[in-house]
Structure 1
């Protein structure tokens, strides 16, 4: 299966002036690939994709593809409130060597189930890249209904879903509907449910915590593929503990600013965030 494994939603490293820090992109990519992860995913939620200027997005994607150098798949976020921008981004990123596009729902207008389905069909029809659906209701305020997912997965250009809804029952129902490990690929985005989702048939993990312990997420995935469930549970506990300093009790934006401060402490990138998020000014955990 092509769309599987540990796919790291990479932070976007910036200079203090807010420009893409290309040397830091290289350091991050090398660190993450040292754990033998399957994919690198710039311009997602962790990567502040909603806050970056289109030209800077292109520079980031270009630098990521160059540093990856064919050693892993590169997924790229194309989400936008403007469909044309998403379509144009997919075409540009394909030319740069990206393997797949990832898109969550637009997040301004209230949308019906029919609106959501029609949007993704139009995007999939027009996208030059294979499309990964991205369900993240914490930021979009919509959750892609399961019956809509069921119909969308029949589209030849829709190749997987990343589900970041922090909802164990939905995840169970999604994996049952999509056929588990032998069916439509489900990539897990809500880290508290990784062990459960892998047991139920998910084929990939998309953990922001892989910036801290990539080798443990890779070990969790490999243990799940070998059905070593005690190891999976142990690694779930270890990764939860490793990530608690930046996500426990914090909003998404606050957590990301702490994560960047932790990466700065390790010499991987600076802590600069783009507005509306702010740099972390507290003590680094």
Structure 2
């Protein structure tokens, strides 16, 4: 299989990091998955990213990941690009998941730094070069240092810029100085797509030369984030301010709970409240209990329905 040149593919707009709807241990919520895919596509998203952080990929069996990839690609049916996370501690398993993604009809794969044993930058460069050479799809690199404990340093990315199979970088580091340096890499690779994770920074990142957002809140309200992206792109300050205010109000759901898993719990809780899919999480994590869920519901109810729906 020939890997498309990075010059032939680009990503922009809102590409939600889709949750993985579950019913119970290792059981996919298929109906919920279909409803969520339709909610995102109808919301005008620029693509869908599955099996990332919000998708709980490290907690899922390879069997379920394969089932999920195939179901999402089948339901999307080419209407928007599908990006599939392949980050793993095992080189071979990353490659295996990428092959399943290619066979299912995905557009690209997404790769962060291997976790557990932190890789040095020299090791990381060699690892990416070896993996990209074997991948059946273009790859977007994913900077997620809070969880993987390793940054894709700017000089590392500059050294990897000669690889045509790399189509860009998704950054969830939350450091706008770093993000600004990422966008400067377009001087070397003007075809690269530079996307941001933290949703409250999405609008600001576009003014720095970014191309869009991979924002978890778009699972709940894709139209809100798409409208904010469009207003920023079109230069409409009053509308940007109104939409940004709603995005920042939505952020309050992530302050509920005390564990790192609260971001996924809050997102899935919101989707259950909206009757999109179940709120089950993969073990060892559990969904919000009624008191926390009521707080999520109150925050969702407080948003301006004219702006979010």
TM bucket, shorter chain: over 0.9
* Aligned pair partner of 1:188 in 196, 208, 228: 196
Q: Does 1:55 align with 2:63?
A: yes
Q: Count residues in correspondence.
A: 285
In the other structure, the counterpart of 1:46 is 54
Equivalence map 1:68-83=2 (5 Å): 68-83=76-91
Native 8 Å contact 2:10 2:191 kept in 1: no
Which of 138-147 and 109-118 deviates more?
109-118
* Aligned pair partner of 2:107 in 93, 99, 118: 99
Cα deviation, residue 84, structure 1: 0.7
What secondary structure is seen at the aligned counterpart in 2 of 1:232? helix
Cα deviation, residue 182, structure 1: 4.9
Cα deviation, residue 243, structure 1: 2.9
Give the TM-score normalised by the residue count of structure 1.
Answer: 0.94
C-alpha distance in structure 2 between counterparts of 1:211 and 1:180, whole Å: 33
Relative to 1, partners in 2 of residues 1:136 and 1:247: Cα closer, same or farther, differing over 3 Å?
farther
Relative to 1, partners in 2 of residues 1:252 and 1:204: Cα closer, same or farther, differing over 3 Å?
farther
Which of 201-210 and 150-159 deviates more?
150-159
* Aligned pair partner of 1:283 in 287, 292, 295: 292
C-alpha distance in structure 2 between counterparts of 1:36 and 1:123, whole Å: 32
Relative to 1, partners in 2 of residues 1:249 and 1:231: Cα closer, same or farther, differing over 3 Å?
farther
* Aligned pair partner of 1:246 in 215, 239, 254: 254
Q: Does 1:27 align with 2:51?
A: no
Native 8 Å contact 2:257 2:292 kept in 1: no
Which of 134-143 and 274-283 deviates more?
274-283
Name which structure has the greater RCO, CA cutoff 8 Å, separation 6+.
2
Q: Does 1:225 align with 2:230?
A: no
Q: Does 1:5 align with 2:37?
A: no
Native 8 Å contact 2:57 2:85 kept in 1: yes
Relative to 1, partners in 2 of residues 1:111 and 1:217: Cα closer, same or farther, differing over 3 Å?
same
* Aligned pair partner of 1:235 in 231, 236, 243: 243
Native 8 Å contact 2:18 2:54 kept in 1: yes
Native 8 Å contact 2:51 2:57 kept in 1: yes
Runs (5+) with no aligned partner, structure 2: 1-8, 297-309
Q: Does 1:160 align with 2:172?
A: no
Runs (5+) with no aligned partner, structure 1: none
Q: Does 1:88 align with 2:108?
A: no
C-alpha distance in structure 2 between counterparts of 1:238 and 1:222, whole Å: 15
Q: Note the aligned Cα RMSD (angstroms).
A: 1.9
Native 8 Å contact 1:153 1:184 kept in 2: no
Which of 96-105 and 230-239 deviates more?
230-239
In the other structure, the counterpart of 2:219 is 211
Give the TM-score normalised by the residue count of structure 2.
Answer: 0.87
Which of 258-267 and 237-246 deviates more?
237-246
C-alpha distance in structure 2 between counterparts of 1:48 and 1:128, whole Å: 23
* Aligned pair partner of 1:116 in 120, 124, 130: 124
Native 8 Å contact 1:26 1:64 kept in 2: yes
